[in-house]
Amino acid sequence: MAEGLNWNNKIHRCRPPREGPKCSTFASVIARRIVSSTVLLGLALSAIPTSQAAPGPLPGTKTNSHAIAAPGAPMRVRPYDPERPFGPDQPGTYEMTGVHTHPEAFTRVCSQGPVGDVALENGGTQRVMLTAGHCLAGTTDQGILMGQDVYAPIRGGYQRVGSVGIVRTVNVPSGYDGLSTAARKARNSTDWGIVVLDPGIPVDGAAASRDRFGGQPSSPIPLTGVRDFPTLAPGEFRLDNFGQPLCKDGAIGARKCGVQLAYNADTVWSWGLDYAPGDSGGVNFDPSNGQIVGMTSMGIGPLGTAQRADRALEVGYDIPDGHVNEKFTPAAAAGARADFVPAMEEKTEIEQYLRENNPTLTEEQLTPPTPKQQFDTAVHAAQQDAAAIAGDTQTFAVSAAVALAAGDASPAEVGDSAHRFNNAVGAYASAHAENIAGAGLNWALDELGYN
């Protein structure tokens, strides 16, 4: 999951329905993005990547004999214009926030999915990497449009891996969706993307990963093919995979294994893989036979969803159901991967840059709030609004009575105004309830060790 953007982004984002105290400073938001991983990436969120190279433009392709495209390895996608990530017609980051940000502060942190060759209709082949769609394109909940180039953070700089080919993201929950909305969307979401690899890029076809600290290395498992599930109608679920094993490799949470629960038209549901923000896009596979099942999409605690790899290939390349393995061949295991920079090193660099280039910011402003602090903030915002609404209700009642007595409004007009007022109060209450529930769940997951 990229940091930011979906269930995978377990970093709760405060979103008060009324104007009031800000949930955090811009710097704190940036720090949280680093911890998350789907935008900023924000973890399948998103989330802010940079290597140990000095800040500046991403370097072009380097000569490297070790695999750069590799299932489970880190992947990075930056905005079209890092200097104006909020849009070409918007001010730059400093003009908008007053904070000097690292040049890669809005780069999206995700993980690489399965790599292989697709047979084309013209008789040729195309070498591709499958990943989560939300990692590659569209806008984040901050409104940042991602670019077309895909990179891997390796020691000494970023290595270009390829370019965005086809992307499908439908009903993918955003970081600002409430729990009920996110759950409804997740039941019928489509979330896949295809990266067309650059010619000559060294690849590894085995699944393997390390965690955000560069530890917990997993043993490489060669990927043998794709699990070709039957095509299902929208909303249809099947349970014939229930209890079958499933593992994921991601560049934040490393390898975790659990079991499959069910699948629908585009998604395989699982338990126990513990997707972390930034694992988005990473490979999901059956450890008993090496079959590719999908790519990490969304997760909350031990419950997760992976985008079906067979559907991405069928739709992306017009492959008939049941014929995916005739058209897609996983890359061979390489045995040697590039020296990928762990996400925590990127995070440390981002934090150091913020401190050195923003001396007026306090440590509190640079430190992301804990899940409990986010919950307390959500409760406090609700209490403030409740007090304000109570005052507004009293004012409305008195004004309505005066207007009726003076003949300035009819009973029907007062009733219509009361109806609209009640709807507004209900919207505020609903927003706060979702906000508190989300923050409370995030706090509970943190206590249980899932954040």
- What SS3 state is found at 244? coil
**pLDDT greater than 70 at residue 177:** no
Q: How far apart are CA 398 and CA 383, in angstroms?
A: 23
> According to the model, what pLDDT value does residue 39 have?
31
Q: Could you tell me the sign of the dihedral formed by the alpha carbons of 58, 60, 66, 71, in that order? A: positive
**pLDDT greater than 60 at residue 351:** yes
Q: Which residue has the tokens 């209700």?
A: 393
> Which range scores top for mean pLDDT: 165-179, 210-224, 403-417?
210-224
Tell me how far CA of residue 160 lies from CA of 129, 198, 272, 288, 386, in angstroms.
Answer: 13, 8, 33, 33, 51
Question: Token pair of 76, please?
Answer: 């990075």
Of 35-39, 188-192, 328-332, 386-390, minimum mean pLDDT range: 35-39
Give the pLDDT band (50/70/90) at residue 104: confident
Q: How far apart are CA 331 and CA 291, in angstroms?
A: 13
- Per the CB < 8 A criterion, the answer to whether 251 and 209 are in contact is yes
Q: How far apart are CA 309 and CA 208, in angstroms?
A: 17
Mean pLDDT of 4-27: 29
> According to the model, what pLDDT value does residue 28 have?
31
Tell me how far CA of residue 210 lies from CA of 2, 203, 299, 356, in angstroms.
Answer: 16, 17, 19, 29
**pLDDT greater than 60 at residue 314:** yes
Mean pLDDT of 431-435: 81
**In the beta sheet, which residues pair with residue 291?**
225, 286
- Running DSSP on this structure, what letter comes out for residue 89? T
Q: Which of the two residues, 305 and 51, has the higher pLDDT score?
A: 305
**Alpha-carbon 11 to chain mean position:** 11
Residue range 242-272, pLDDT digits in tens: 999 999 999 999 999 999 999 999 999 999 9
**pLDDT greater than 80 at residue 51:** no
Mean pLDDT of 404-409: 89
Mean pLDDT of 92-117: 90
Q: Which of the two residues, 86 and 289, has the higher pLDDT score?
A: 289
Give the pLDDT band (50/70/90) at residue 157: confident
Q: How far apart are CA 398 and CA 423, in angstroms?
A: 19
Tell me how far CA of residue 357 lies from CA of 93, 96, 353, in angstroms.
Answer: 14, 16, 6
Mean residue pLDDT across the chain = 81
Tell me how far CA of residue 70 lies from CA of 66, 152, 338, 417, in angstroms.
Answer: 10, 10, 9, 60
> Which range scores top for mean pLDDT: 68-82, 179-193, 194-208?
194-208
> According to the model, what pLDDT value does residue 34 have?
25
Question: Token pair of 438, please?
Answer: 């989300």
Of 7, 264, 283, residue with least CA distance to 134:
7
pTM of the model: 0.78
**pLDDT greater than 80 at residue 187:** no
**pLDDT greater than 50 at residue 61:** no
Mean pLDDT of 426-450: 81
- Per the CB < 8 A criterion, the answer to whether 27 and 437 are in contact is no
Q: How far apart are CA 135 and CA 339, in angstroms?
A: 22
Count the helices and strands in the chain (H runs, E runs).
9, 17
DSSP string, 263-296: E-SSEEEEES----TT-TT-EEEETTTTEEEEEE
- What SS3 state is found at 389? helix
Q: How far apart are CA 192 and CA 296, in angstroms?
A: 9
